[in-house]
Amino acid sequence: MHASSPRPASFSAPGPLRGSIAVPGDKSISHRALMLSALAIGESRVEGLLTGEDVLATAAAMRAMGAHIVRESAATGGGGRAMGASIERGDDDVWRIHGVGVGGLLQPEGALEMGNSGTSTRLLMGLVASHAITATFTGDASLSKRPMNRVIEPLSLMGADVTATPGGKGGTLPLMLRGISPAVPIDYRLPVASAQVKSAVLLAGLNTPGITRVIEPVATRDHSERMLRGFGAELEVEQAADGARIISIRGEAELRPQHIVVPGDPSSAAFPAVAALLVPGSAVTIANVGLNPTRAALFDVLRMMGGDIEFANPREVGGEPVADIVVRHSTLKGIETPVETVASMVDEYPILFVAAALAEGRTVARGLEELRVKESDRIAVMAEGLRAIGARVEELEDGLIIDGTGGDPLPGGATIAARLDHRIAMSFAVAGLVSKAAVTIDDMGPVATSFPGFTRLMGELGAVAA
Ligand code: S3P
């Protein structure tokens, strides 16, 4: 997990941002690729896997439960590929995974250390729930505040027994989950729009006899569904009369090993993309970005605000739509952000708020109550930080109202507490590029959870970190 001594930094842009970069692999897809490979029988190969700390926590947990996972460095084994920065990033590495088979997870010896990763925790709780094993989940200070009741509830209905920390609000880590086999199949209607809860139930359903169903009133990222099918699980998606998605999985599936190529993470691409929109004279290409419609709404919203964003060379990689994103500096206009697509850009609001702070006129963003239970309370933390650097912001229970500068730089001149939240740290790194006085982020360490190489890649485009 990231170093405990804080790594402060401030970012500035002496001139336009220019050039072409590729961001690391998609975090959501990387977690799922490891988990499903670890349950297939035979060897899966994964390329482009994110080597961020969150994903490494998933890899360690799957190893602790019996999977054989080897990271073959391109520098040492993978066919003599060229040396260079990409090797240091680990993007060229090939991961070879021998799974244990559905139902074959072993009792882990120690606690599963989840670090900062909500996705690892919730999805793995689903996997453990339908195996006759017991696992203890621990996490860092941020993760230990996040509510797990949203997964404890359906997994308990399936027969799992969970003891969370007494007194923790919403069922918090550390917690102990005693799984059961055979578990009971359920039909579960999601009370919150959450891909993590959906995935936890579907993954529990993998080793449960019969059909497990999740009813999703609001569509959330569908990587689990796509990948489960890709591995050979019997999974159906239907539309209910009220528009909800009904996802059914037949349990006791046999998964076939796969070769997966993970596309670049749109949630990481969001930071250089907004930076290019805001810094005058910029023109930046971000290559190989995943544009699954359940993930890519930020780019639509930025276009609605007047952002010059093109998708070049559209193609399919590993069953996911991918393109190169070309972004040029633009004069943005404030808007009312659409509530229908909140789930399809749920992680992108912090950086959208930065864009809104530089736009002309008012941006009203609502329907964002889920942001309060992410790695930090992203509504409160963004409101406080933006105000500290001179933006005009009003905090609502479920969102923010932001009156932008019309393109003028923000005053800046403050230190921002990132609160163990990678996306807060990166959002204020971008805000620093368009502020008069320095914006210091108290700790860039958490960025390694999702976007290793962030500072270096921003540097390749012309940003300066001090
Ligand atoms: C994720 C789902 C989202 C998102 C998180 C990753 C996933 O969380 O915020 O970063 O990989 O399923 P919720 O499902 O809790 O909204």
- d(CA 216, CA 246) in angstroms, rounded, equals 6
Reading phi first (left if > 0) and then psi (alpha if -120 to 50, else beta), residue 453 is in left
Q: Catalytic: 347?
A: yes
For residue 247, how far is its CA from the centre of ligand 1 (angstroms)?
18
Best residue among 53, 55, 119, 421 to mutate for probing ligand 1, ranked by most atoms within 8 Å of CB? 119
From 58, 116, 149, 196, mutation site for ligand 1 pocket: most ligand atoms within 8 A of C-beta: 196
* Segment 43-64, tens digit of pLDDT: 999 999 999 999 999 999 999 9
CA–centroid distance, 230 to ligand 1, in Å, is: 21
Q: How far apart are CA 305 and CA 330, in angstroms?
A: 9
**Atom of ligand 1 lying closest to residue 32 CA:** 11
Q: How far is the CA of 266 from the centre of ligand 1 (A)?
A: 13
Do residues 72 and 64 lie in contact, with contact meaning Cβ atoms separated by under 8 Å?
A: no
Nearest CA to ligand 1 atom 15: 194
Using one digit for the tens of pLDDT, what is the confidence trace for 409-464? 999 999 999 999 999 999 999 999 999 999 999 999 999 999 999 999 999 999 99
- SS3 for the chain is CCCCCCCCEEEECCCCCEEEEECCECHHHHHHHHHHHCCCCCEEEEECCCCCHHHHHHHHHHHHCCCEEEEECCCCCCCCCCCCHHHHHCCCCEEEEECCCCCCCCCCCCCEECCCCHHHHHHHHHHHHCCCCEEEEECCCCHHHCCCHHHHHHHHHCCCEEECCCCCCCCCCCEEEECCCCCCCCEEECCCCCHHHHHHHHHHHHCCCCEEEEEECCCCCCHHHHHHHHCCCCEEEEECCCCCEEEEEECCCCCCCCEEECCECHHHHHHHHHHHHHCCCCEEEEEEEECCCCCCHHHHHHHHCCCEEEEEEEEEECCEEEEEEEEECCCCECCECCCCCHHHHCCCHHHHHHHHHHCECEEEECCCHHHHHCCCCHHHHHHHHHHHCCCEEEEECCEEEEECCCCCCEEEEEEECCCCCHHHHHHHHHHHHCEEEEEEECCCHHHHHCCCCHHHHHHHHCCEEC
Angle at 190 between CA 189 and CA 194, to 5 degrees: 155
Distance, CA 197 to ligand 1 centroid (Å)? 9
pLDDT of the chain along its 466 residues, tens only?
555 799 999 999 999 999 999 999 999 999 999 999 999 999 999 999 999 999 999 999 999 999 999 999 876 544 433 333 343 356 679 999 999 999 999 999 999 999 999 999 999 999 999 999 999 999 999 999 999 999 999 999 999 999 999 988 899 999 999 999 999 999 999 999 999 999 999 999 999 999 999 999 999 999 999 999 999 999 999 999 999 999 999 999 999 999 999 999 999 999 999 999 999 999 999 999 999 999 999 999 999 999 999 999 999 988 899 999 999 999 999 999 999 999 999 999 999 999 999 999 999 999 999 999 999 999 999 999 999 999 999 999 999 999 999 999 999 999 999 999 999 999 999 999 999 999 999 999 999 999 999 999 999 999 999 9
CB 226 within 8 A of CB 273: no
Total-model pTM:
0.97
Q: Which two tokens stand for residue 438?
A: 């320095």
Ligand 1, CB within 6 Å, residue ranges: 28, 119, 194-196, 199, 220-221, 346-347, 370
Determine the Cα angle at 159 with ends 157 and 161, to 5°: 100
Nearest CA residue ID for atom 9, ligand 1: 347
* Domains annotated on the chain, with CATH: 9-24+263-465 (3.65.10.10), 27-250 (3.65.10.10)
Taking the C-alpha atoms of residue 225 and residue 154, their distance in angstroms, rounded to an integer, is: 18
Instruction: Using the atom order of ligand 1, give the atom closest to the CA of residue 267.
Output: 10
From the list 91, 347, 421, 443, the catalytic residue is 347
Number of residues that make up the chain = 466
Tokens 């923790």 correspond to 168
327/310 Cα distance (integer angstroms)? 7
Number of Cβ atoms within 10 Å of the Cβ of 83: 11
In ligand 1, which atom is closest to the CA atom of 196?
14
C-alpha 88/C-alpha 86 separation (Å) is: 5
Question: Is 329:321 a contact under the CB 8 Å cutoff?
Answer: no
Four-point Cα dihedral 121, 127, 133, 137, nearest 10: 0
Q: Given ligand 1 and candidates 194, 342, 370, which is best to mutate, with the most ligand atoms within 8 Å of its CB?
A: 194
Cis peptide preceding 446, ω within 30 of 0: no
Distance 196 CA to ligand 1 centre (A): 5
Q: Assess contact for 341 and 285: CB atoms under 8 A.
A: no
CB 222 within 8 A of CB 249: no
Ligand 1 atom nearest to CA at 199: 12
- Ligand 1: which atom is nearest the Cα of residue 194? 14
CA of 194 to the centre of ligand 1 (A): 6
Closest-CA residue, ligand 1 atom 11, reads: 28
